[in-house]
Each structure stands twice: as structure tokens, then as C-alpha cells.
């Protein structure tokens, strides 16, 4: 059995008791006695409950003129018996409410359906279906705006869950029910009622006739006469009269009927469309031919029934069935019909295309023939592959549904091949035939989008509430028939009533108003109430006294009058604008201050609107060289500019671009060439920004004449360029370091270091110090002790990238005009200068030594020989001297000793000037000889230690070391007042160290004047000659230590 036939069968079966019931109601209910009425209607209702498979069936009939209940009753199943009153009065207010409720319902609305109720024949009625409750099905009959009655079905358990997709199905059932009832009432029901045939004909619009072939006379009933416009008082009509009233075209329609009747020889039934009173109407004609015993026809009889409405109903029902079939095949909901063959035995009877597409999610290559007429359990287990426990559970639910005959609904989820999920709202509905459930109808529709929409709506609702709370809008409602206002939490909090909704009296609100506000608000409200419109809108501002002080509240209100609110309803939103008003007042004060500053400012201030000057201050007159504001206002900024700016752009286009950017919110500052009124150009610094002034969007410009400033800047730049050229092309290396990082250096510095520019930029203070010669690090370490407020000079050696050491002289000072730890270093290579100086020293010392050697030779060979000769000559006179007197002998002796002393001094001076021991035996032996001679000639105990006795040093080094040692120990003997002294020479692989120490009185080296201490100066000169580092450590009372460090690379 297909789905459409299933609907028809179910409808037909369910309406048998409806036909009986409505037949009885139409004919007897108004006049029947109460006990008969109660008994018959209640019995019919009970029967309907059982037949429809529901728990309750409600029925009510309302008098169409008196508008009160004629009968109200309830039918229930055997296990739902109650003691409710079968009928009662009908409250007019309830009647009005129900009528309005039905008139507003638009779930399903069937137009132009006619019914035959007493006194209301052939008048249009509306059949309205309401699905307002999940467990009920409700049908109401109306005539215009008059409620005639209703019938409803309900269940105590489960749901009759009629979905919007079921509306077409319900429409088809109701149309069928209504047609069946009207047919039964019109044509069959009243015919079997003895004694009321005439009433039956009238109600069924059916007329009878009889035509005597012998007399040619036609007898008709009143209904027949009424249908064809014949005079009903005549006992019979002539055939000519009937044909005249019927018309030629109508007769041609009926002529074929009678010809067919003669051919059949018995009886025939046909339906014809006749034109009556200019309107097409349908008639059903049933005719019978009476034959005499001789076999000749002698009489025709029959009935004529107007079936216009039934014909239209049949067509509508057929259209509905076609539509239902199309819906079944094309509806996007999923529909499947299962045939019940026993517990757990359900055959897949039919399904629509949408349901078939759903099955493809489970089995991609499924075909319809693989599903139809297949056992559901076998299909789910073996084809779909569902777990047996799930299949058993599903069949159990279906078995329970068959047992209880109660519709069920639930939510399902199906996973698509792409992994997403479909959410279904599904239901199983039992179909009852002959008291047995023969089919189960499964229907489902996709609620995936609905759920997503609901989720979005909930989110939007939450956002709306948050936005409403964030905007601090308060809501209020006033039913003007009452003396109370409803205030939501925001409005309550605004008035200082806490953070919860409140209901307050109108007098409370009036008392809160600041004096002078009530009259204004009352006037606005009265104007709205006096308006002819059903709704009116007004805005207001008022001041209220609150615990926090006076607050100003803005309100937008809607006043309306409706049937529910005849006195009026006021709805509105309120917002606290206290801060806003205060801000507006401050804005006005600010605007006033701005105007004062605007006029008194020393810079030129211009206001631009729509690309022209609309206001300027007095300073702008001076800048542009004008006498009156009228010379500037109304003109464009580029009218006071040359045609083109220095970058080649047109002043007008560039100016418009700047103004547009300022309007869009940018704060701009740029250079511009303006012209004065006499055409003289000047350089300007312009600032633009958008301002809101008195509700207008303006552009404010500050124009500053910077001609002199720019000239100064250019002069400075030229000076800087000259300075940069000097620095770049300087022969001195220049380095700038900031916070220990290299920031700048010139080409001379690159040449000095021998590194690339990239390598130098990567250096820091530590990597720079790593290039310094280890022997010069101590000198640079002392560099830390200076604060560099005054530049210092340093000389040291550093290693170039090629590995060679070079001497540099550096000037180091702090960088001025900066907050950072910045230093500037200027350096010059003095290696060649150092070499020249060293050579000069060596030459000087060698010259001195040669001169010493020459003098020593002359003293030895000249003066020494003379003195020796004098001693010999005087010795030869010794015998003669004895002959002289005592005085002469004393003089002789004195002269001889003097000459001997002179000879000894000459020999000693000659030896000191150039000891022969140094040349012959080297430094160590010469020093030992020097120490021994001094120990013999003085009380100071001198000693000498060395680890270098083998080998010789260079002559220059030996001579200079000896002279330094000689000078030092001579000072010990002559000046130190020491008891002892030590000379020590230690040789290391790269270093030679000479120390000379005494325990004498000591002295302050810083207080020594080199001019008056020739010995110390000579020591310093000879130390420098041999490249030694000289250190003198001495303090008064603590003796003296002289230390020399001589690098052996000089050898």
C-alpha cells in the first residue's frame, strides 16, 4: 500500500463515527432533549476516541446567533473515564478570547469551504486548524467572525508531534473528512431517515422528478422547482415549460443523458455542468426507465442533485493528493514507511528520494532495490553494518510503539562521509487499520542549520544584552491604566534604587523630578496622548534627584494604544547623560578658551572648511602680510602659495591631499612654501589636525615662518659638511665610541688599523684593547682613572691586522653635547717618529761615549803622561832635596804628593769616562769592578747579583746599562746616606730587568727638578735610548728602588 492510499484509508476509517456524530448534531442537537443529547453525543465521542486511537476527544457546539454553548462534551477511552460535566455554559469573554486566538493563528487556513448547518445553507465557512500543543489535534469551524464549534483529539502520554512538514498531509486528511461528512449529510444520511425526506432533499440540494410518457406531464419536487426556477405551486409542468426554463444549451447537455437511458433500457447516472442564472453549476442526474408488461417504456423518474461543492471538493482533494504525492517525492524531509508483520519484524515498504540519499551515507553504492521490501533488521545488520546491540534497541522501540500506539519523537545524528554531522528531528507515527497497527511512518527533517541558527541567535541575544548593559541604557514600562511603572535593573541603578528591577509609583517618579521638569514632561506626554495615531514617539531630557546627586536623564519613549491597553502604554529607554552634559559644558568652556588662545597666539592659526579659510587669528595677518581678515577668509591655502612646491608637485593637489589626510584623522607636520600678499615667498612649517567645533568638522592649521630658521639650518649644514670633509680627509685617525660601541671612524683610522670598515664597526672597547701591546697595557689601564673632563694624551703600541706593531699617539676626550658615555679618539701613527727619536738618542749617547773615550784617551795619554813625567822628575831630585832646608823639603814633598794625587785622579777620571773592562769583558764584570772600588772608597756596603754571566749584550745596551748603574750607585754613595745597596740584573727570554735598591733616606720623585738633578735625567735619557721602561719608587725615609724593564726585541 503506497503512502497516498495509506492516508486516504486512515482518513476514511477515522471518519465513520464523525459522519454519524455530525449527522446527529446537524439534524437533532438544537431540538433534542438534554438527556438524549448528552447520551448520544457522549457515546459518539467515546467511539471516536477508540477509533482514532487517542485518549480524549473534545467537542463543542456554539449557537451562531446567541453565541453561547449549545453543548460541550468530552469522550474518553474505557481506561480514561472521568466524571466531568458533559455540557455547561460558555463565558462570553472566553468566547471572544478563543475567537481572537483562532483568527490570529496562521498555521493552516482553508478558504471557501461550505457546509450545511441549520439556517446557514450555502454560506462560506472557514476551517481553521491549530497545532498549538504538541499532544493535540484541534479543528474549529467558523462562519465569518462567529465561532460555530470545535473538535479536538489529545493524548495523555507521548506526543502527536505535528511538524510544519506535516501540514500538507493534515490538510489532505481534513479536506477528505469534510467532504465525506458533507456528502453523507447531503445525499445518503437523510435519505434513510423516515419522515424527513423533504428535509433531506433540501439539505442535500436534491430534487426528484417523474415524467409520464403518455401524458407528457412532468411532476417535480419543490427542491427540483427551486433548482430550475419552476413555479412550485403547480402539480405538474409541461415539457415545453421545463425546456424553456432550462435553456437550449442545458438541454443539449441533458439530451445525451436520456438517449443513453433509452439505450440502456433500465437506469443511468451521469454528472453534467449546467448554466443556471448565468453561473456554471454541476448536477448529478440519476434516471430510471419504467417498462410496461408489454415491453414499452411508459414513465421516466429520477433525482437531480446539485454537486457543485462536492465537485469542487473532489477536484481540490485530487489536487491535494497530487500535491501530497509530489511533496512525498520531492520534500527535503526524510520519510520512510515500514510495514508491520509482527514483533521485531518490519519490512521497508517505501521511502522518498531524500531518505534514499541519507542511506548513501551508510552504503555509498546502495540501490533502491537493495532496500525495498527488505527486512529492517537484516538490512541494518548485513547491509549498513550497525552493531547488533543498536539494532536490537531500535527494534525494541518500534515494538513498544506498536504496543502503545503512541507517537514518539527524538533527535538523531548522522555522520556524513566528510566527517561532519547532520542533526535530525525525527518521529515514528503508528498507522492503525481495523484496530491494528499495520504501518509505522518514520519522518525526520534536518535541523542542523536550525541548531546553528539558534546558537547564533542565543549568542546575538547575549551580545545584545551585554551591549545594552555596556551602553548603560535603562528600560521602563508604564501601563497608564495603573499607577505603577516598571524599571529594569539599569534604570533602577541609574536612579539609585539598587541593581535589581523595581516597580515604583508615578508619584515616586514625580517626587524625584527636579523642580521645573514635571511640567515639561507632562506636556510632551499629553501631546502624544492627544495624537490621532495609534502610536507616537517623543524624546525628552529631565533632571532627577538621586542619592549620588542630581542626574540628567535622556529618554526616548513610545506611546501606544491597543485593545489590550486602551488607556495607553508607554515604553521607553533611558540613558544617564549627566557626564555628557557636564562634558558639553566643559566643551563650551574649552571652546571659549580655545577662541581666546586662538586670537592671542603668536603663531599663525588658520581654520579650513571645504578647502577654504573660514577663520584666522591676527598673527596670520602678519605672516601673510595682510591688513584685514577679508583678504584671506574665503580663499584657498594654495592661493597663498607658488604654483609648484620645491618637489615639483602642484601646490593645489598637494594641499588637497594634506587636508584630506587631516580630515581622516592624521596629525600632520610638514614644510611648505607660502607667499605673502605681495608675492614674496617664505618657508613655513605647517601643522594640520582635524577639530570638531560647534558640530562642524574643521581642519586647524598652524603656520610658522621658518625662513630665518631654515637659513640658519642650511648654514649649520654647510658648516657640518665642511667639518665632515675635514674629518674624512684628515691625516689623523678619528674614532667615536658610544657606550663602548663603535659609532664612527674616518678613512685615516681604517688605514691606521688595517682592518675593513665592517670589521671595525663590529669592534667594542674590549676588542680594541686586545690590540694594544702587552707592555703598554699598564699605561692604558691608568686611562680608567681619568674622568676625561679634560682630554688626555696616550702613547702606546698596537697590533695591526697584518700582525705588525705600530706606535700611536692618541688624544682621548669625552664627546660633548650628549647624555651617553661617548668618547672621541684622535690617533696618529708615530712609529717613524719614535724610530727617529730612538736613533737620535742612540746617536747622542754614542756621541757622548765617543767624546768620553776621546777625553779619557787625552787625559791618559796627555795629562797622565805629563803628570807621570813630573813624578819621575821630582823623584830624581829626591837626593838633592835632602840638602835643602826643612821648609823647602816640606814644599817638595807636598808638590810630589799633589802631583801623584792628580795623576791618580786623572787615571780614575779616565777610567770612569770609558772603563776598559766594559769593552773587554762586558757589563757584569765592569759592574763588579765598580762595586769593589766603591766598597773600598766608602762606608756603604754595595753588592751585585745576576743570572747572566755567560754571553754578551749589544755594545749600546751594555754601555747604557753600565752608565745607568754607575750613576745610580754613585748617587747611593754620595747622597742616600744608605748603609747598603743592591744591584741586580736578571735576564728572561723576552725581558731584561735591572733593579738598583738602597736603604737610604729616599726622596719624592714628583718633587725632583730635572734641571737640578742631572743624574736622574741622564738615567731617564739612557733608559729611553735602549727602549726600557723606567720606574722609580721612592719615598722620604723608605729608601729608593730604580727598576728598568728592557724588551730583548731591541737586540
Give the bridge partners for 588, in sequence order.
none
Residue 141: in which H helix or E strand, if any?
Answer: strand 136-143
Cα–Cα distance for residue pair 1010/963, rounded to 1 Å: 18
d(CA 378, CA 473): 63
> Does residue 388 sit in the same domain as residue 525?
no
Q: What is the pLDDT of residue 823?
A: 82
Task: Show the cell assigned to 809.
Answer: 699617539
Query: What is the SS3 assignment for 572?
Result: strand
Instruction: Report the pLDDT averaged over residues 812-828.
Output: 75
Q: Strand, helix or coil at 575?
A: strand
Residue 953 forms part of a structural domain: yes
323 pLDDT above the threshold of 80: no
Task: Answer for the pair 349, 339: CB distance below 8 angstroms, yes or no.
Answer: yes
Q: Confidence class of residue 582 from pLDDT cuts 50, 70 and 90?
A: confident
pLDDT attached to residue 868: 63
pLDDT of residue 672: 92
* The total number of structural domains that make up the chain: 6
Helix axes 1014-1025, 955-971, angle to 10 degrees: 160
The answer to whether residues 353 and 334 touch, using CB atoms and an 8 Å cutoff, is no
Q: What is the pLDDT of residue 670?
A: 92
Shared domain for 81 and 17, answered yes or no, is yes
Q: Which residues contact 221 (CB under 8 A, 6 or more apart)?
A: 198, 201, 207, 208, 209
pLDDT for residue 996 is more than 90? yes
The residue from 170, 192, 214 where one domain ends is 192
Q: Assess contact for 416 and 423: CB atoms under 8 A.
A: no
CA-based nearest residue to 619, from 703, 726, 515? 703
Same domain, 36 and 163: yes
Q: What is the pLDDT of residues 59-79, one digit of tens each?
A: 665 555 555 454 555 554 444
Cβ-based burial of 701 (10 A; exposed 0-12, middle 13-18, buried ≥19): buried
What whole-number distance in Å separates Cα of residue 20 and Cα of residue 27?
A: 11
* pLDDT for position 375: 92
Residues 866-920: tens digit of each pLDDT = 666 666 667 767 777 777 787 777 777 777 777 777 766 666 665 666 566 677 7
CATH of residue 122's domain is 3.30.450
Q: Report the distance separating Cα 483 and Cα 423, nearest Å.
A: 50
Final residue in a domain of this structure, among 535, 552, 576? 576
Q: At which of 192, 219, 249 does a domain end?
A: 192
pLDDT value at position 642? 92
Looking at residues 490-505, what average pLDDT do you find? 85
Residue 1004 binned pLDDT confidence (cut-offs 50, 70, 90)? confident
Is the per-residue pLDDT at 245 higher than 80?
no
User: Residue 841 falls within a domain, yes or no?
Assistant: no
DSSP 982-1049: EEEEEE-SSEEEEEEEE-S----GGG--TTT-HHHHHHHHHHHHTTPEEEEEE-TTS-EEEEEEEEGG
Give 122's pLDDT tier (boundaries 50, 70, 90).
very low
Least trusted range by pLDDT, from 37-41, 131-135, 537-541, 769-773: 131-135
Residues 6+ positions from 371 with CB-CB distance below 8 Å: 348, 351, 356, 359, 379, 383
In this prediction, what percent of the chain has a pLDDT beyond 70? 65
Q: Are 352 and 277 in a shared domain?
A: no
**Do 146 and 23 share a structural domain?**
yes
**Which has the closest alpha carbon to 684: 634, 645, 632?**
645
More confident residue, 240 or 51: 240
CATH code assigned at 925: 3.30.565.10
Whether the predicted pLDDT of 108 surpasses 50: no
Residue 892 included in any domain: no
Q: What is the pLDDT of residue 644?
A: 92
354, part of any domain: yes
Cα 249 to Cα 228, 286, 434: the distances in Å are 14, 20, 49
Task: Count CA atoms closer than 13 A to 414's CA, side-chain side.
Answer: 21
More confident residue, 811 or 174: 811
Where is average pLDDT lowest: 689-698, 761-770, 773-782? 773-782
Q: Which domain holds residue 551?
A: 471-576
Computed over every residue of the chain, the mean pLDDT equals 73
pLDDT of residue 911: 60
Residue with the larger pLDDT of the pair 471 and 941: 941
Is 365 found in the same domain as 290? Answer: no
Whether residue 504 is predicted with pLDDT greater than 70 in this model: the reply is: yes
Grid cell locating 951: 754571553
Asked if residue 1044 belongs to a domain, the reply is yes
Do the domain assignments include residue 15?
Answer: yes
State the CATH number of the domain containing residue 433: 3.30.450.20
pLDDT at 821 exceeding the cut of 80: no
pLDDT tens-digit series, residues 944-961: 998 887 778 888 888 888
Residue 1030 has pLDDT above 50, yes or no: yes
**Predicted local confidence at residue 29, as pLDDT:** 46
pLDDT tens per residue across span 610-641:
899 988 888 888 889 998 888 888 899 999 99
Question: What is the pLDDT confidence band of residue 107, given thresholds at 50, 70 and 90?
Answer: very low
Residues 245 and 229 sit within 8 Å (Cβ to Cβ) = yes
- What is the average per-residue pLDDT within 333-357? 85
pLDDT band of 190, cuts 50, 70, 90: very low
Q: How does pLDDT run across 11-61, given as a tens digit for each residue?
A: 343 444 444 444 444 444 444 555 555 665 566 666 666 655 556 666 665
303 and 365: one domain? Answer: no
Q: Is residue 738 part of a domain?
A: no
Query: Can you say how many angstroms the Cα of residue 1031 is from the centroid of all Cα atoms in its chain?
Result: 74
723 touches 739 (CB < 8 A)? no
Same domain, 923 and 1041: yes
Q: Which residue has the higher pLDDT, 185 or 790?
A: 790
Q: What local confidence, expressed as pLDDT, does residue 534 receive?
A: 74
Is the per-residue pLDDT at 111 higher than 60? no
Whether residue 177 is found in the same domain as residue 46: yes
Q: Could you give the count of Cα atoms lying within 13 Å of 272 in the half-sphere of its Cβ?
A: 20
Q: Is the pLDDT of residue 468 over 70?
A: no
Q: How many helices (H) and strands (E) does the chain have?
A: 33, 38
**Highest mean pLDDT range out of 177-191, 201-215, 639-653, 696-710?**
639-653
Residues 367 and 492 in one domain: no
Give the whole-angstrom CA distance, residue 336 versus residue 444: 9
* Inside any domain, residue 453: no
Q: What is the CA radius of gyration of the chain?
A: 67
pLDDT at 977 over 60: yes
Identify the burial level of 846 via C-beta atoms within 10 angstroms of its C-beta, where 0-12 means exposed, 13-18 middle and 19 or more buried: middle
For residue 176, the SS3 value is: helix
1013-1024 exposure pattern, b = at least 16 Cβ within 10 A, e = fewer: beebebbbbbbb
Residue-wise pLDDT tens digits, 429-459: 888 776 788 888 887 877 777 677 667 766 6
Res 688: pLDDT: 92
- ∠ CA 25-28-30, nearest 5°, is 85
Report for 147-161, 463-477, 675-689, 954-968: range of highest mean pLDDT: 675-689
pLDDT band at 471 (very low <50, low <70, confident <90, very high): low
For residue 309, pLDDT over 80 is answered with no
Task: Kindly report the backbone phi and psi dihedral angles of residue 292, in degrees, each rounded to the nearest multiple of 5, phi listed first.
Answer: -75, 175
- Of the candidates 1011, 904, 997, 869, the residue with the CA atom closest to the CA atom of residue 945: 997
Question: Which one has a higher pLDDT value, 426 or 38?
Answer: 426
Residue 470 pLDDT more than 80? Answer: no
| SS3 (DSSP) at 303 | strand
Q: Residues 551, 659: one domain? A: no
Query: Does residue 549 register a pLDDT over 70?
Result: yes
**Same domain, yes or no, for 476 and 409?**
no
Amino acid at each position: 500500500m503506497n503512502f497516498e492510499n495509506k492516508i486516504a484509508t486512515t482518513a476514511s476509517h477515522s471518519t465513520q463515527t464523525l459522519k454519524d456524530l455530525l449527522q446527529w448534531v446537524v439534524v437533532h442537537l438544537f431540538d433534542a432533549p438534554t438527556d438524549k443529547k448528552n447520551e448520544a453525543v457522549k457515546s459518539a465521542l467515546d467511539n471516536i476516541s477508540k477509533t482514532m486511537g487517542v485518549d480524549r476527544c473534545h467537542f463543542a457546539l456554539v449557537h451562531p446567533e446567541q453565541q453561547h454553548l449549545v453543548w460541550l462534551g468530552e469522550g474518553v477511552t474505557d481506561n480514561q473515564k472521568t466524571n466531568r460535566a458533559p455540557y455547561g455554559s460558555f463565558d462570553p469573554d472566553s468566547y471572544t478570547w478563543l475567537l481572537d486566538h483562532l483568527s490570529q493563528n496562521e498555521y493552516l487556513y482553508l478558504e471557501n469551504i461550505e457546509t450545511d448547518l441549520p439556517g446557514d445553507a450555502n454560506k462560506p465557512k472557514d476551517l481553521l486548524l491549530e497545532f498549538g500543543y504538541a499532544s493535540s489535534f484541534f479543528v474549529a469551524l467558523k462562519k465569518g467572525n462567529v465561532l460555530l464549534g470545535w473538535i479536538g483529539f489529545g493524548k495523555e502520554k507521548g506526543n502527536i508531534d505535528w511538524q510544519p512538514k506535516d501540514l500538507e498531509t493534515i490538510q489532505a486528511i481534513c479536506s477528505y473528512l469534510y467532504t465525506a461528512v458533507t456528502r453523507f449529510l447531503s445525499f445518503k444520511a437523510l435519505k434513510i431517515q423516515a419522515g424527513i425526506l423533504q428535509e433531506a432533499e433540501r439539505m442535500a440540494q436534491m430534487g426528484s422528478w417523474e415524467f409520464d410518457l403518455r401524458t407528457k406531464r412532468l411532476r417535480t419536487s419543490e427542491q427540483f422547482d427551486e433548482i430550475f426556477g419552476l413555479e412550485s405551486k403547480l402539480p405538474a409542468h409541461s415539457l415545453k415549460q421545463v425546456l424553456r426554463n432550462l435553456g437550449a444549451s442545458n438541454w443539449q447537455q441533458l439530451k445525451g443523458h436520456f438517449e443513453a437511458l433509452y439505450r440502456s433500457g433500465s437506469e443511468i447516472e451521469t454528472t453534467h455542468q449546467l448554466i443556471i442564472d448565468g453561473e456554471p453549476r454541476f448536477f448529478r442526474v440519476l434516471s430510471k426507465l419504467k417498462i410496461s408488461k408489454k415491453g414499452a417504456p411508459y414513465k421516466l423518474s429520477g433525482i437531480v442533485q446539485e454537486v457543485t461543492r462536492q465537485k469542487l471538493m473532489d477536484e481540490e482533494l485530487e489536487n491535494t493528493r497530487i500535491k501530497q504525492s509530489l511533496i512525498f517525492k520531492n520534500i527535503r524531509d526524510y520519510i520512510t514507511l515500514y510495514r508491520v508483520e509482527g514483533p521485531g519484524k518490519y519490512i521497508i515498504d517505501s521511502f522518498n528520494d531524500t531518505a534514499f540519499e541519507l542511506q548513501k551515507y551508510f552504503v555509498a553504492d546502495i540501490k533502491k532495490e537493495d532496500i525495498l521490501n527488505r527486512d529492517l533488521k537484516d538490512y541494518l545488520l548485513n547491509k549498513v553494518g550497525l552493531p547488533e546491540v543498536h539494532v536490537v534497541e531500535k527494534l525494541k522501540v518500534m515494538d513498544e510503539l506498536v504496543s502503545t500506539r503512541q507517537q514518539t519523537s527524538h533527535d538523531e545524528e548522522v555522520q556524513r562521509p566528510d566527517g561532519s554531522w547532520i542533526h535530525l528531528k525525527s518521529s515514528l507515527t503508528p498507522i492503525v487499520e481495523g484496530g491494528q497497527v499495520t504501518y509505522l511512518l518514520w519522518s525526520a527533517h534536518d535541523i542542523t542549520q536550525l541548531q546553528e541558527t539558534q546558537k547564533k541567535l542565543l549568542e546575538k541575544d547575549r551580545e545584545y544584552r551585554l551591549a545594552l548593559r555596556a551602553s548603560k541604557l535603562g528600560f521602563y514600562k508604564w501601563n497608564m491604566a495603573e499607577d505603577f511603572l516598571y524599571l529594569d535593573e539599569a534604570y533602577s541603578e541609574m536612579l539609585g534604587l539598587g541593581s535589581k528591577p523595581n516597580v515604583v509609583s508615578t508619584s515616586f517618579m514625580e517626587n524625584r523630578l527636579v523642580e521645573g521638569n514635571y511640567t515639561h514632561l507632562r506636556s510632551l506626554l499629553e501631546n502624544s496622548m492627544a495624537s490621532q495615531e495609534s502610536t507616537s514617539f517623543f524624546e525628552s531630557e529631565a533632571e532627577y534627584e538621586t542619592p549620588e546627586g542630581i542626574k540628567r536623564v535622556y529618554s526616548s519613549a513610545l506611546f501606544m494604544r491597543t485593545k489590550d491597553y486602551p488607556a495607553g502604554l508607554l515604553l521607553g529607554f533611558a540613558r544617564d547623560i549627566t557626564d555628557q552634559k557636564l562634558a558639553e559644558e566643559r566643551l563650551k568652556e574649552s571652546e571659549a578658551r580655545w577662541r581666546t588662545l586662538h586670537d592671542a597666539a603668536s603663531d599663525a592659526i588658520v581654520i579650513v572648511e571645504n578647502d577654504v579659510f573660514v577663520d584666522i587669528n591676527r598673527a596670520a595677518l602678519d605672516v601673510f602680510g595682510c591688513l584685514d581678515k577679508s583678504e584671506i577668509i574665503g580663499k584657498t591655502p594654495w592661493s597663498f602659495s607658488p604654483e609648484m612646491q620645491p618637489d615639483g608637485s602642484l601646490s593645489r593637489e598637494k594641499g588637497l591631499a594634506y587636508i584630506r589626510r587631516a580630515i581622516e584623522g592624521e596629525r600632520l607636520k610638514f614644510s611648505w612654501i607660502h607667499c605673502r600678499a605681495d608675492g614674496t615667498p617664505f618657508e613655513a612649517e605647517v601643522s594640520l589636525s582635524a577639530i570638531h567645533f560647534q558640530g562642524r568638522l574643521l581642519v586647524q592649521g598652524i603656520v610658522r615662518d621658518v625662513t630665518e630658521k631654515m637659513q640658519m639650518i642650511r648654514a649649520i649644514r654647510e658648516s657640518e659638511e665642511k667639518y665632515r670633509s675635514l674629518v674624512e680627509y684628515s691625516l689623523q685617525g678619528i674614532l667615536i665610541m658610544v657606550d663602548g660601541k663603535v659609532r664612527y671612524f674616518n678613512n685615516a683610522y681604517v688605514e691606521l688599523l688595517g682592518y675593513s670598515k665592517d670589521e671595525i664597526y663590529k669592534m667594542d672597547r674590549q676588542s680594541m684593547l686586545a690590540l694594544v701591546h702587552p707592555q703598554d697595557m699598564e699605561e692604558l689601564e691608568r686611562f680608567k682613572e681619568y674622568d676625561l673632563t679634560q682630554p688626555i694624551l696616550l702613547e702606546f703600541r698596537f697590533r695591526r691586522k697584518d700582525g705588525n706593531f705600530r706606535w700611536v699617539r692618541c688624544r682621548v676626550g669625552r664627546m660633548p653635547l650628549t647624555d651617553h658615555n661617548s668618547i672621541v679618539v684622535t690617533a696618529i701613527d708615530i712609529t717613524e717618529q719614535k724610530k727617529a727619536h730612538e736613533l737620535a738618542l742612540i746617536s747622542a749617547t754614542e756621541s757622548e761615549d765617543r767624546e768620553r773615550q776621546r777625553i779619557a784617551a787625552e787625559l791618559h795619554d796627555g795629562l797622565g803622561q805629563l803628570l807621570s813625567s813630573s813624578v819621575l822628575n821630582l823623584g830624581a831630585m829626591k837626593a838633592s832635596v835632602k840638602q835643602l832646608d826643612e821648609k823647602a823639603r816640606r814644599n817638595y814633598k807636598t808638590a810630589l804628593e799633589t802631583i801623584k794625587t792628580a795623576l791618580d785622579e786623572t787615571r780614575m777620571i779616565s777610567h770612569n769616562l770609558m772603563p776598559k773592562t766594559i769593552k773587554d769583558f762586558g757589563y757584569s764584570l765592569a759592574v763588579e769592578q765598580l762595586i769593589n772600588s766603591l766598597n773600598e772608597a766608602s762606608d756603604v756596603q754595595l753588592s751585585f747579583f745576576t743570572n747572566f754571566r755567560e754571553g754578551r749584550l749589544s755594545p749600546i745596551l751594555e754601555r747604557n746599562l753600565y752608565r745607568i748603574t754607575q750613576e745610580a750607585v754613585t748617587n747611593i754613595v754620595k747622597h742616600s746616606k744608605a748603609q747598603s745597596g743592591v744591584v741586580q740584573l736578571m735576564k728572561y727570554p723576552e725581558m731584561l730587568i735591572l733593579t738598583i735598591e738602597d736603604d737610604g733616606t729616599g726622596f719624592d720623585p714628583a718633587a725632583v727638578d730635572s734641571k737640578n738633578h742631572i743624574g736622574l735625567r741622564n738615567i731617564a735619557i739612557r733608559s729611553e735610548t735602549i727602549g726600557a721602561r723606567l720606574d722609580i719608587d721612592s719615598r722620604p725615609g723608605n729608601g729608593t728602588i730604580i727598576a728598568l724593564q728592557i724588551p730583548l726585541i731591541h737586540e
